[in-house]
Every structure is written in structure tokens, then in C-alpha cells.
Amino acid sequence: MEAVPAGVPLFPMRRPCPFGLPAAYAEMREHAPVRRARLAGGSLVWLVSRYEDIRALLGDARLSSDRSRPGFPSLDSETAQLATVPVFLGMDAPDHLAHRRMFLSEFLPRQVDELRPFVQSCVDGHLDRMVAQGPSADLVTSLAMPVPALTIGRILGAPEGALPRLEQLSVAALTHRGTEAFEELFNFVREIADDAAASPASAGAGMIGRVLREYVAAGQLEMWSMLATVFVILLAGYETTAHMISLGVLTLLHHPEQLTAVRRHPELVPQAVEELLRFLSVGELAAVRIAAEDIELRGTTIRAGDGVVLLGAAGNRDPRVFEDPERFDVHRSPGRHLAFGHGPHACIGARVARLELTVVLTTLLERLPGLRLAQRIPHDAVDYEAVLFGLKRLEVTW
């Protein structure tokens, strides 16, 4: 293992609060935009913190997403396990695009737009339940987690009768984590796939049945690869959006003048969603790569085999791109934020996430005009240690 130079910081760096970024991000961005850091296991990575550098590198074929490459940086045990999972997120061209296209149809604009009535129904139903059991509730388990879980279940093609179980398993996996919770969720996906494979003619609409018919049956994709990819899409499809819902509501409640503006002008909600995505950057640590070739960047040589972390959160607050970037402002013109990445590996579910966030915030603010925090956010309610930043609970009242 490469020796760790003196003064190299430990990474990931802890956020000071739900809305703030590590102070080192601004210092790096200005004075050391390409700098070394060490992971908990001792290995070294390069941190890239300026917007234009991050955006350029996300489209640079010299950076590899192939997690099976020796030395690929792992931020925690869960991401380390992805090294053995054959999914397009961990592939490079040309395999990446070929596999990505197999799972893309359900995320095209028309298909996503057709999801709106379903998402609205989910939001209405869970708000009905929350209000009936109120007047206080944990917004995380009552709304923020269930809606994305049910939406991604619909996309995957889970039978209507199985959706309540999917909701239960998803909330358990995100709340408790642990191997057992994730195994139960994976087994749920496998059951749906097994049923669809056993009766392909009767398999309903959705990604699982379609991919089985079009690619697995044709011998273009192995069943295990399909299951692994669907499972990763399921996790990514609900966890990031669930965190954005709860953190988004908390952010609005902590900025009353911005909340008032959105209440008075609901047409601002889509713009507010973009600003929340920029401001919060819950998936800031998703852009982890390894250099396949030497790369010269701002006088620094990133050697082939070096790990690289592209700090999207730091880029999303780069004053070279965003005026007064530390300020949360729902009137900000929708910008080129990096919340969904950029380039070939940009998030395929971005349109779904935007739809869910827009429907949730619009409905929540309309139905609960007195929405407010029930108590001060306790320190242990914030998941500071997670790769995907979020809240474990959010007690609200109305």
C-alpha cells in the first residue's frame, strides 16, 4: 500500500449539519482543487472539488467505473460488494451503454409522465393515513420512504398486491440496514422475476417482465445480471429520493421566507426542487472512479490505478458557477447542478425523482399549511456516516 503523506485528511469528511458541507470543501476548491485524501482502510484517493473539473471528468473515458479493477476505491462495505455485481453502473464503454439501454425504457419521458397519477395516489393515500394518525408524525417513515419505494416497485412491475410488502421491506432495509434486511428485499425481487419467468405470457407490464422477454430469453443477458441490476436500481430508486424528500422538507422549514414563496406560488415547486437538489447533494459520494490512464489536471498527475472521488456537493456550491452558492434560494434559475451526475453514467432515474419530489412537495404544502417541526432535530436523527446522506427520522406536526 502506498505510504500516506503527512497532513493528508481522512475521507469521507463529516458534514457539520444537515445543510452544510465540510469546511474543507471550500478550502480545497479554492486552493487545492485536486488533492490527496485517505480512506478509512488506509488507501489514497484524489479528491476533485471544482465544478468544471468534475463535469469534464464525468465524461472522460480515462476514468473508469469498473469496480472490479484492482485498487478501485471503496468508501464502505456496501459499495465494496458492488465489485462482484455485474451491473452497468460498474461498467465502462462499450458494455456500459449496451447494458444501460436494456433497462432504460421505463425511464423515458413518456413512460415517466404516465406515472404521475400513480405517484399522486401514493402521496394522497399516505398523507391521509398520516393526518388520520396525527397531529404529529415521522415524515421519514410516513411519507418520504414509502412513496419512492412504491414508485420504483411500479416501474419494476411488482404486482399490485405485492406493493405493501415491498413498502415494508424497503423501509426496513433503509431504517435498519444490515444483511438480513437487504437479503429479504433481494429475495422479493427474485420472487417477482421467478414468477414472471415461469409465466412470461402473463407477466405484467414493468421492467422485470420486459427485460426477461427481450434480453434474458434471447440469451443476451444472464438472469443473475438482471436480478443484480434490478436490485441496484431498486435501492438507488428509493433511497436517494427518500432522503431528498425528508431533507427537502426540513430545508424549506428552516428557510421560512423561501417556504412562504413556494406556498404563495406553487408554480415555483419545480424550480425549488432543482435548488434543493443542488443545495443538498445527498448522493455526493456516488461519483467514485479509478484512473485507467494518467491524467494531468491543474498541475497534478493522477496516475493510472489511482482512485478518484468527484465531489459533486463541492461542485454544486462552486462560486464560479453559482452566485452566492451557500444561500438556499428557490428563485435561483435552474442550473447545471451535478446532483444526478453527468455524462454516460448520469442517473437514469432523474426524471422519476423530479416527478416524485414535485408531487410530494406540492401536495404536502397544499394540504398541511401549518406544517412545522415537532421538535428540534436530534443529532442522532441525521445519518452523518452514510455514503448517501439523509435523515433517519423527521418529527413534524401541523
Q: What is the pLDDT of residue 182?
A: 87
Strand ranges in 156-266 using DSSP code E only, listed in sequence order: none
Q: What is the pLDDT of residue 284?
A: 77
pLDDT digit string, tens, across residues 43-75: 999 999 999 999 999 999 999 999 989 999 988
Segment 127-150 mean pLDDT:
95
Q: What is the pLDDT of residue 179?
A: 81
Segment 306-312 mean pLDDT:
96
Distance CA 316, CA 166 (A): 33
Question: Mean pLDDT, the chain, as a whole number?
Answer: 92
Distance CA 48, CA 312 (A): 9
Segment 173-177 mean pLDDT:
75
Q: What is the pLDDT of residue 193?
A: 93
200 or 196: whose pLDDT is higher?
196
Distance CA 34, CA 120 (A): 44
pLDDT band for position 201 (cuts 50, 70, 90): low
Contact 46, 307 (CB under 8 A): yes
Q: What is the pLDDT of residue 386?
A: 77
β-pair type (300-302, 136-138): unpaired
Segment 240-266 mean pLDDT:
97
Distance CA 88, CA 172 (A): 26
Q: What is the pLDDT of residue 174?
A: 78
Segment 181-199 mean pLDDT:
90
Residue 81 has pLDDT above 70, yes or no: no
Nearest one of 386, 394, 397, 398 to 173, comparing CA atoms: 386
Q: pTM, whole model, 2 decimals? A: 0.94
